[in-house]
C-alpha cells in the first residue's frame, strides 16, 4: 500500500459519524467547585506539583466547567456529528458512592448535554477516563475486587440521570494505560509501580467492572432508551522488524491490547491463551505459588464475553518489534513476561510527543487485524490525533489527519465496519504528565487568558471542510479567517 502517493479527493462513505474527543480532568477545571472532591489526579498533582513537566495541573485546565457554551459553539463551527467527553466521578458522587448525589455536578452535565442536543450534536460519554476518586484509591483502587460493585453503582447513577438523552456510552478509556501505566509503572496516577502484579489485578477487576456496567445498561435501560455501550482501548500497531520477529510482534499485541479485547470480543473469552501460558510459566520459574495473572472464574468469563456493542479504538502510532531480550526490565514485570524489544524508526515523521510518529499504514494494518481477529466488529475510532508545541499553522497535524483518514478508508473499502471517527482533541488540554507542553487541539487554548480563549487552528478549518464535503484531499489551502457556523 502506498496510501500517501494518492492524490485528488476521495469520498467518505455516508453514515460515518465525525466527532472530536476530550476528557473531564483534562479540560473541566473546577476541581473543588460546588461539592466536587479529590480524584487521583487532583491528589497527585497537589501533593507533588512537579510530577508534571511544567509543574502545572488540571485545577483550572480549560475552565470548561464554566466555558461549556463556547465548547459547544466550537462543535457547531466544525460541524461535528458527535462529541465524546468523560464524566468526573467525584463531581457526581463526592463520597465515591451513591449515598449522596451532587446536584451541581448533575446540573453541569445536563447543561452541556442539553446545549449539544439543541444543535443536533450527539453526546458520547465515557464513564471513566482516569480520574478515580482518591478515597477509592486509598482502598486499593482497581486492585480491590470490590471496585466491580463501586463502578457498577456509579454507572447506574449516570444512566439514571443522563440515559434519556445519551445514546453512546463508553465504560472505560484505555485499560492498558490505567493498569500498566498507573499500577505497573510511574507514568500515570497513582504511580503505584508494583510491577508484574498490580497491573494484572487491575486488568481483571477493570474488565469485570466494565462488564457489570454493560449488563446494567442492557438489563435496566436499553429497552427504554435504546443506546449502545462499549469499551475503548488504545492500540498501537506492532510491525515485526524481520520475518523472524512476527511471533513476538503477535505476542506483543496480545499483551498490549489482546489482554483487554480477547476477553470481550473473542469466541472463547478470557485472557489470550498465550498470555496466560507465558505468565504462568514465568511465575512458576520465579517460585511463585500461582500465576501472577489472576484467573477469571467461569462465571466471570461468561459475564465479560460479548460485553460490548462496539469496539472503541484509540489509535495514534506504530512500533517496530524484534526478538532481542532486553535486560533493562525488572523481574518480575510486564515487559519481562512479554519479552522482545520495541522501538520507533528515525525515519518516521515525529510529533511533539516522544512516543508519537506518523505511520498511517499501521492504522490500516491494525484495522485489518482487528477485523480478522474478532469477526469484523463495529469499530468506533474514539481518538486519533497529533501533537505539536502550539501555534495556529499546524500543517503537520493536517497531514497526519488526512493520511490516517486515507488509511481508514482503505480498511473500510476492504470491509472494516467503522461507524465513527473522533479527533483527539477538540482543543488543547492538560496532557497528563506532560502538563500543557504538548498540544493536541484543533483549537489552540490560551492558558494566560482568564477565559482560556480558544482559537481555531488551520487543522480546524480543514477538519470542518472534510466533514462538510465528506471527502479528503491532500491539497488543502484554507483561509484561516472567519470561522462560521453553517
**Contacting residues toward ligand GBH, per CB under 6 A:** 23, 173-174, 177, 187, 234, 314, 316, 354-355, 383, 424, 431, 440
CA separation for the pair 279, 293 (Å, rounded): 7
Q: 168 near 125, Cβ under 8 Å?
A: yes
Question: Shortest distance, CB of residue 273 to ligand GBH, whole angstroms?
Answer: 25
Phi, psi (5° rounding) for residue 283?
-60, -40
Cβ 52 to ligand GBH shortest distance, Å: 12
Cell numbers placing 384: 486519533
Q: Which of 77, 122, 358, 383 is catalytic?
A: 383
CB of 354 to ligand GBH, least distance (A): 6
| Least gap, CB of 23 to ligand GBH (angstroms) | 5
Measured distance CA(348)–CA(396) in Å, rounded: 13
Residue 251: CB atoms within 10 Å: 21
117: cell is 442536543
Active-site residue, selected from the candidate residues 174, 256, 358, 431: 174
389's grid cell: 508545541
Residue 73 is among the residues annotated as catalytic for this protein: no
The reply to whether 247 belongs to the active site is no
Q: Which of 404, 423, 390 is nearest to 19 (CA)?
A: 423
Question: Shortest gap between Cβ of 234 and ligand GBH (angstroms)?
Answer: 4
Residue 445 CB, shortest distance to ligand GBH, in Å, is 13
- Cβ atoms of 81 and 465 within 8 Å: the answer is no
- Return the active site residues: 174, 383
Amino acid at each position: 500500500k502506498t496510501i500517501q502517493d494518492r492524490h485528488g479527493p476521495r469520498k467518505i462513505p455516508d453514515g460515518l459519524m465525525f466527532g472530536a474527543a476530550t476528557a473531564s480532568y483534562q479540560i473541566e477545571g473546577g476541581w473543588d467547585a460546588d461539592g466536587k472532591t479529590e480524584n487521583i489526579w487532583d491528589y497527585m498533582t497537589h501533593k507533588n506539583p512537579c510530577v508534571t513537566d511544567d509543574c502545572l495541573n488540571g485545577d483550572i485546565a480549560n475552565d470548561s466547567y464554566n466555558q461549556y457554551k463556547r465548547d459547544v459553539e466550537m462543535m457547531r463551527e466544525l460541524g461535528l456529528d458527535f462529541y465524546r467527553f468523560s464524566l468526573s466521578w467525584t463531581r457526581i458522587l463526592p463520597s465515591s458512592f451513591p449515598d449522596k448525589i451532587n446536584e451541581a455536578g448533575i446540573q453541569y452535565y445536563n447543561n452541556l448535554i442539553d446545549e449539544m442536543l439543541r444543535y443536533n450534536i450527539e453526546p458520547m460519554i465515557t464513564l471513566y477516563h482516569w480520574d478515580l476518586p482518591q478515597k477509592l484509591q486509598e482502598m486499593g483502587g482497581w486492585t480491590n475486587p470490590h471496585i466491580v460493585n463501586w463502578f457498577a453503582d456509579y454507572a447506574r447513577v449516570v444512566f439514571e440521570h443522563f440515559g434519556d438523552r445519551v445514546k453512546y456510552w463508553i465504560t472505560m478509556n484505555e485499560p492498558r494505560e490505567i493498569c500498566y501505566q498507573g499500577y505497573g509503572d510511574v507514568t500515570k496516577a497513582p504511580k503505584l509501580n508494583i510491577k508484574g502484579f498490580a497491573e494484572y489485578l487491575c486488568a481483571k477487576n477493570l474488565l469485570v467492572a466494565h462488564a457489570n456496567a454493560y449488563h446494567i445498561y442492557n438489563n435496566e435501560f436499553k429497552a427504554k432508551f435504546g443506546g449502545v455501550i462499549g469499551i475503548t482501548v488504545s492500540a498501537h500497531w506492532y510491525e515485526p522488524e524481520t520475518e523472524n520477529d512476527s511471533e513476538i510482534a503477535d505476542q506483543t499485541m496480545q499483551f498490549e491490547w489482546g489482554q483487554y479485547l480477547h476477553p470481550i470480543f473473542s469466541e472463547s473469552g478470557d485472557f489470550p491463551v498465550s498470555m496466560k501460558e507465558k505468565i504462568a510459566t514465568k511465575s512458576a520459574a520465579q517460585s511463585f505459588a500461582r500465576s501472577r495473572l489472576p484467573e477469571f472464574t467461569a462465571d466471570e468469563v461468561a459475564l465479560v464475553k460479548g460485553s460490548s456493542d462496539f469496539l472503541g479504538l484509540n489509535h495514534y502510532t506504530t512500533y517496530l518489534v524484534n526478538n532481542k531480550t532486553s535486560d533493562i526490565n525488572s523481574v518480575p514485570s510486564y515487559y519481562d513476561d512479554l519479552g522482545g524489544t520495541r522501538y520507533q524508526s528515525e525515519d518516521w515523521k515525529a510529533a511533539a510527543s516522544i512516543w508519537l510518529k506518523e505511520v498511517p499504514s499501521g492504522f490500516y494494518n491494525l484495522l485489518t487485524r482487528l477485523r480478522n481477529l474478532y469477526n469484523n466488529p463495529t469499530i468506533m475510532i474514539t481518538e486519533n490525533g497529533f501533537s505539536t508545541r502550539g501555534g495556529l499553522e499546524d500543517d503537520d497535524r493536517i497531514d497526519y489527519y488526512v493520511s490516517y483518514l486515507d488509511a481508514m478508508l482503505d480498511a473500510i473499502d476492504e470491509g472494516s465496519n467503522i461507524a465513527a471517527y473522533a479527533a483527539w482533541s477538540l482543543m488543547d488540554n492538560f496532557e497528563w504528565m506532560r502538563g500543557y507542553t504538548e498540544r493536541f487541539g484543533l483549537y489552540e487554548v490560551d492558558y494566560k487568558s482568564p477565559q482560556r480563549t480558544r482559537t481555531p487552528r488551520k487543522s480546524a478549518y480543514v477538519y470542518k471542510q472534510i466533514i462538510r464535503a465528506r471527502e479528503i484531499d491532500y491539497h488543502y489551502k484554507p483561509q484561516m479567517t472567519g470561522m462560521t457556523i453553517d
